[in-house]
Every structure is written in C-alpha cells, then in structure tokens.
Amino acid sequence: MSAANTTTVFASVNRIATPDPVDVDMIGAHGMVVIIDVSAAAVTPSVVFNVDGYDSLSQKTWTLLDSAAITGEGTTVLRVGPGLTNSANLIADDLIPPAVRIAPVHADADPITYTVAVHSTE
C-alpha cells in the first residue's frame, strides 16, 4: 500500500479577495487530489482554483489543471496524475512535479468561505 500525505493549503476563512498562492511540496508523489470545500457563499462569488507546477530554480509556474468557476456551496475534487483520463476542469493526466502551487483567483469581492486540502500518494 502506498503512503499518503495531506496538506492543509487554505484553512476555513471567509474571503473577499484573492489570497496569496501556496506552494506544496510534492517530492515523491505519484498522484494528487485537491479537495475544495465551500461552506458558505453570499451573493454571487466566483473563484477559480489553479493547480500549477512550480519550478523553484526559475520561480516559474505552468498549468496542470484549472477548476471551473466555483460559485456556491459544495465540494469540488480535482485530480492530477499519470494515467488518469482527462476531464475538463476536474482531472489531468500529467506527471506530478516536485512542487505545486495552488492559486485561487477571485473574480469579485463577494464573500465565500472555503478550505483547500491536497492529498498526495507515493
């Protein structure tokens, strides 16, 4: 059985603006699952979560997977790993780099409360 690691990327907070992105160590990871749980949303918030590879030497990122706009309460599951069947805005068939960056992008200032966790498997 392969080992699994869990990283809390964003704790539950009511947000009205885009927070700073968070880099997650993925050394040795074969696959990853990103869990986005929205527990409260007022008016019409809209947030897209970008899952990017991150190269620490050049400090450059590249897109692994971007979620669809999340506009209300519920749980969204994003998956990245080699051999997965691609599904737009949900699943990417790609290698896991040594670091990934999780970057929420808020389209407006409407309040939204969410948590984000990354689960990796070795």
Query: What pTM, to 2 d.p., does this model score?
Result: 0.94
Query: For the chain, what are the domain ranges?
Result: 4-121
Per-residue pLDDT at 116 exceeds 50: yes
Per-residue pLDDT at 10 exceeds 70: yes
Q: Cα-atom radius of gyration of the chain, to the nearest Å?
A: 14
| Mean pLDDT value across the chain | 96
**Measured CA angle at 113 (ends 91, 93), to 5 deg:** 10
Fold held by 4-121: Jelly Rolls (2.60.120)
Percentage of the chain modeled with pLDDT above 90: 93
**What is the per-residue pLDDT across 62-102, written as a single tens digit (0 to 9) for each?**
999 999 999 999 999 999 999 999 999 999 999 999 999 99
Q: What is the pLDDT of residue 1?
A: 42
**What is the per-residue pLDDT across 22-39, written as a single tens digit (0 to 9) for each?**
999 999 999 999 999 999
